[in-house]
Structure 1
Amino acid sequence: MTVLTKGNVKTCEQLLEELSSRALPANAEKIVFAGIGEKDVYNITAPFEDQGKKVIAGRVESRDSEQSEVFFFVERNGEWVPREGAPVFALQDPFFTRIAGELVLGGVQTFPHPTLEEALGWRTVFYKGKSIADLREFAKGPDGMKDLRLVELKDGSIGVLTRPQGEKGGRGKIGWTRISSLAELTIDVINGAPLLEGQFIDEQWGGANEPHLLSNGLVGVLGHIASFDEEGNRHYYPMVFALNPDTGEFSDIELIATRSQFLPGPSKRPDLVDVVFSGGLVRNGDGTADVYAGISDADAQKIRIVDPFLKFEK
């Protein structure tokens, strides 16, 4: 059960070159949402089961706004519509996992910035419950931290993936620590998580989107790596790596798709055209996996790829 730390910091440009040498799928599918007026749905989760129904959580907002709500959608006649009676959360970028038999849902909460006028601050907020209907808030991350993720490990302990920015993380680097129960998920523990050194150059950044416990006890991480170009446009690419929870060793980052493999669609702003936000991944058990993604901060699509975690289970 070893994943060797290669220590090879790879840039977006190098990763794109590696990806271009592989055969890439061209089977993208738009996920159609209805019942939310003229608003966009993007940065969705993968579908998950709640009380016997398949549900997708998605970020819902107007094209010209960052005021976002998270809705829960169910499929009806090929479209995803808001689930009747489900709660709506004032959050961005939802994610979910299951820990100790409970559903854990999180998202990014925005608030007026304490020192910058007309700017927003943000933090990650966590809820848990037996089902969506009884989700209750139980923890908050540090102010200014997105991409905080949890995963239940083989021994019942919990892996915590963090993403500090600023003095510790620059534009955004991934940290890792373990706790024995959700009661230990404190701001001090999150802030103290050591960084996975050697994943990103300082000019680029990344974060974890969805950790998966693999059959051999390793953690397969679906995440993103991102950069600015000279014009200030953002480029976000979905990536994966594997992590040994016992040693903190991890594999090199590998891209799994680019914007060009998805269907054409709208963009929230001109600088967000080349953005793929890897919301979630479903392993199909037949060697393939479906990646559910937010596209250009205005759209949601899925794409089928070779299961990127299989090689780490061998």
Structure 2
Amino acid sequence: MAKLKKGAVKTCSELLQEYESSQKSVFHPEKLIFQGVGKNDVYNISAPFEDEGELVIAGRVESRDSEQSSIVFFTEQDGVWTPREGGSVLTLQDPFYTKIGGELVLGGVQIYPHPERDGALAWRTVFYKGTQISKLEPFFTGPDGMKDLRIMELQDGSIAVFTRPQGDKGGRGKIGYSRVASLEALSIQVIEDAPLLDGQFTDEEWGGANELHLLKNGLIGVLGHIACFDEQGGRHYYPMVFALDPETGRHSDMELIAVRNRFLPGAAKRSDLEDVVFSGGLVRNADGTAYFYAGISDAEAHRMGIADPFIKFET
């Protein structure tokens, strides 16, 4: 098992400085083309996954001036992604997926009227499962107020659980980790009791897990994000990775894997969201590279080739 060295807490600024000084190479940055959704934007996509013999991307679809979203499933032909004919549509935001017990598990963020503040919205993470997209059924709803709740099957069949509480426990948002024997053992109590990972975020910044990868040595490769505000109120979201030992909870330092200006130019939902890169998913290639799929500036979906950031944890 690879040793996981943990240092001091690093801010967005420090991680950005490390990324820029490392001069990491990228290749084939591209903007994904989506059609068939009218004038709506498609962003905060999943990585592609196979369903009924074809590659599918789940994407957040909404108009530029709204937060009312749907998850639509797209297939690609001649470089254009269009909604799957007769495909399911879920009234959720920010899709993600995994496989557990041979079934597809798909999740997203459900928004609903805030129970205490007039005109405000609240959110929670909802999970579906089934043998294929057309047979998905809801099976678990996370705690009110929690986004970035992720689960993954480990080598022994148990389930890794990554949480992101806010408020008294998590401030603006910190990552917690727990483990349960099976999906049936997943509960609100387990999620709320999950200990926070130490030394990841300052109280002024926040982050979460977006996608989990089971590495060949049993470690968990976490694709996530770290975020902060600038003095003008602009948001800055950076995609990051770290590795975690599911047996001990020990984890490596975070490191950035991309920044907005390494992608192609594009639109933004609002001016304060121009520097937002949402970690959608990572497809690892056999040649030591990976394709990183991302939502850009809450308005577009892009893809970019990078060096596989998890290889070093497998050696």
- Classify the TM-score, shorter chain: over 0.9
Corresponding residue for residue 49 of structure 1: 50
Corresponding residue for residue 259 of structure 1: 260
What is the distance in 2 between the residues matched to 1:52 and 1:4?
38
What is the distance in 1 between the residues matched to 2:8 and 2:154?
26
Corresponding residue for residue 15 of structure 2: 15
SS in structure 2 opposite 1:247? Answer: coil
Q: Is the 8 A contact 1:7 1:199 kept in 2?
A: no
Amino acid at match of 1:286: D
Corresponding residue for residue 248 of structure 1: 249
- What is the root-mean-square deviation of aligned Cα atoms in Å? 0.8
User: What TM-score do you get using the length of structure 2 for normalisation?
Assistant: 0.98
Q: Is the 8 A contact 2:2 2:314 kept in 1?
A: no
Corresponding residue for residue 148 of structure 1: 149
How many Å apart are 1:215 and its aligned residue? 0.2
Instruction: Give the number of equivalent residue pairs.
Output: 314
Q: Deviations over 1:246-279 (max 9, x none)?
A: 0000000000000000111110011000000010
What is the distance in 2 between the residues matched to 1:97 and 1:175?
19
What is the distance in 2 between the residues matched to 1:229 and 1:275?
12
What is the distance in 1 between the residues matched to 2:191 and 2:135?
26
Q: Is the 8 A contact 1:44 1:94 kept in 2?
A: yes
What is the distance in 1 between the residues matched to 2:240 and 2:137?
31
SS in structure 1 opposite 2:33? Answer: coil
Alignment of 1:211-230 (within 5 A): 211-230=212-231
SS in structure 1 opposite 2:22? Answer: coil
Corresponding residue for residue 197 of structure 2: 196
Amino acid at match of 2:184: A
Amino acid at match of 1:11: T
Q: Is the 8 A contact 2:2 2:313 kept in 1?
A: no
Corresponding residue for residue 74 of structure 2: 73
What is the distance in 2 between the residues matched to 1:103 and 1:26?
30
Q: Is the 8 A contact 1:122 1:144 kept in 2?
A: yes
How many Å apart are 1:5 and its aligned residue? 4.7
What is the distance in 2 between the residues matched to 1:83 and 1:300?
17
What is the distance in 2 between the residues matched to 1:105 and 1:32?
23
SS in structure 2 opposite 1:21? Answer: helix
SS in structure 2 opposite 1:19? Answer: helix
Q: Is the 8 A contact 1:3 1:243 kept in 2?
A: no
User: Which consecutive unaligned segments of at least 5 residues does structure 2 have?
Assistant: none
User: What TM-score do you get using the length of structure 1 for normalisation?
Assistant: 0.99
Structure 1 segments, 4+ long, off by >2 Å, are 2-5
Corresponding residue for residue 298 of structure 1: 299
- Taking only the aligned residue pairs, the percentage that are identical comes to 67
Q: Is the 8 A contact 2:236 2:275 kept in 1?
A: yes
How many Å apart are 1:21 and its aligned residue? 1.5
Corresponding residue for residue 172 of structure 2: 171
Q: Is the 8 A contact 1:32 1:79 kept in 2?
A: yes
Q: Is the 8 A contact 1:3 1:242 kept in 2?
A: no
Q: Deviations over 1:84-121 (max 9, x none)?
A: 11110000000000000000000000000000110100
How many Å apart are 1:3 and its aligned residue? 3.6
Corresponding residue for residue 233 of structure 1: 234
